[in-house]
Amino acid sequence: MKRIIKNFSRVDFKSLKQKIIYHSRAFDHSVLLNSNSESTQNEFIYAYGCIDLLSSSNQSLKKLDNFINDKDWLFGFISYDLKNEIENLVSSNITFHSIPNISFFKPKVVVIAKNGLLTFEVCSDLEPEEELNNILNYRPKLVEKKIDNLVPRVSKKKYLQNVKAIQDHIKKGDVYELNYCIDYYSENSIIDPCDVYNRLNSITESPMSTLFKFKEINIISSSPERYISKRNNRVFSQPIKGTARRNPNELIDKQIRSLLTKNIKEKAENHMIVDLVRNDLSRISKKGKVKVTELSKLYSFKNVHQLISTIECEIDKNTLVSKILESTFPMGSMTGAPKIKSMKLIDEFENISRGIYSGSVGYFMPNGDFDFNVVIRSIIYDSNDQKLNLNIGSAITYNSKAENEYDECQLKAEAMIEALK
């Protein structure tokens, strides 16, 4: 599809981003992908309006290949439950939010903030200047919020019991690491996703932050983790394992950073997932072209420190998106290893379908490149049913201390709970 493209300079990105957050609520389909950085490839991308839509829970990847053939911008999400299509698995867990396995929309307008320049790419029947003015002049209505108490679906006692049972599987050799998740939920709440996103993002300033609206479903994400990205024939993934709370005291914070980088358990978790991701990428890579470019590197965000690794490979230019996704999804950091056995055990120990949590939000560019996050540190809200939940989890290994894993989950939940107040 031919788009009208126009660049604008001397735009205050920070002020514009605030306008965009609330402007996004005016559409059934919209997404803000916010890097919270001026030094990355894109400071933010905003897309809204829907020309065409693909939503599927059957033969989804084949349909996605066909949808991508239009060589235009596509934005959307991949649910964790796509695993059932890829690996022919079955889950009997209840679903809290009703969503398809994948959903992608072709937007009417794409706004890209990059290197101090604002670029609008719009449908031929729209005008870039008018769209910019609509964003700048948008006046949001106030939303009366009502938040019922968030309830843990799993008690601490049950959590500790499950960790012990998972470790029994590890001792038997069924798996050697498993990502076990729990959630908090409310079934009678009214929130303004834009307000909540604003507060959450101010607390975390994460590099893969997202505000996504799919009709009544709202994904409010402060994810720091990249699932997969493609640039030309280079594909890379950046799993996270290893988390520590930041301290406002600079000296103490420095000690925390040092302890995290030397923590044998945390590094072992990270290295196990690196090995899994290397194996996943080897299924699509040219021979001998998989490499680890960063191993357990410390990254510091506003509220936490993380250990992040980067694994990349070189692929043939004709490799289908379906092949890339079926070889790598879900992200290994959200399953465990071996992956298929871990996913079977996850369905056994978790009593609710993960849905979009552990899945991904991202985009395809007209040239075939793409970028997707891992949906963690996220609130999922259904504005029709007035239901919301937030999931948290951690990697369970042989050396895990159940109490410590529970505390890590609470740390990951803190910013989201604070944003909902």
For the chain, counts of helices (H) and of strands (E): 11, 22
Note the pTM of the prediction, 2 decimals: 0.95
Burial class (CB in 10 A: 0-12, 13-18, 19+), 331: buried
Question: How far is 149 from 391, CA to CA, in rounded Å?
Answer: 15
Handedness of CA 325, 330, 336, 341 (dihedral sign): negative
HSE, side-chain direction, 13 A CA sphere, residue 9: 1
Fold classification of 3-419 is Anthranilate synthase (3.60.120)
Length of the chain: 421
Question: How far is 212 from 29, CA to CA, in rounded Å?
Answer: 8
CB contact at 8 A, 104 and 54: yes
pLDDT at 97: 95
CB contact at 8 A, 311 and 277: yes
pLDDT at 75: 98
CB contact at 8 A, 74 and 50: no
pLDDT tier, 40 (very low <50, low <70, confident <90, very high otherwise): low
Q: Which residue, 36, 303, 306, 19, is CA-closest to 139? A: 19
pLDDT at 389: 97
Axis crossing angle, helix 264-282 with helix 250-262, rounded to the nearest 10: 60
Question: How far is 146 from 41, CA to CA, in rounded Å?
Answer: 38
**Beta-strand runs (E) in 79-170:** 102-106, 109-114, 117-123, 151-152
pLDDT at 37: 84
pLDDT in tens, 185-194: 999 999 999 9
Scanning the structure block, which residue is given the tokens 């009997």?
92
pLDDT at 38 over 70: no
Phi, psi of 390 (to 5 degrees): -140, 135
pLDDT at 1 over 90: no
pLDDT at 153 over 70: yes
Mean pLDDT, rounded, for 289-308? 95
pLDDT in tens, 114-137: 988 999 999 999 999 999 999 999
pLDDT in tens, 365-383: 999 999 999 999 999 999 9
CB contact at 8 A, 312 and 234: yes
Question: How far is 317 from 98, CA to CA, in rounded Å?
Answer: 36
Scanning the structure block, which residue is given the tokens 């895990």?
400
169 Cβ partners below 8 Å, 6+ apart?
175, 178, 345
Question: Which secondary structure element, helix H or strand E, spans residue 38, and what is its range?
Answer: none
For every residue of 185-227, DSSP letters joined together read EESS-B--HHHHHHHHHHHH--TTEEEEEETTEEEEE----EE
Question: How far is 210 from 223, CA to CA, in rounded Å?
Answer: 8
pLDDT at 143: 84
Cα 52 to Cα 4, 107, 116, 121, 259, distances in angstroms: 18, 8, 30, 16, 50
409 Cβ partners below 8 Å, 6+ apart?
159, 182, 392, 393, 394
Q: What single-letter amino acid sits at 104?
A: F
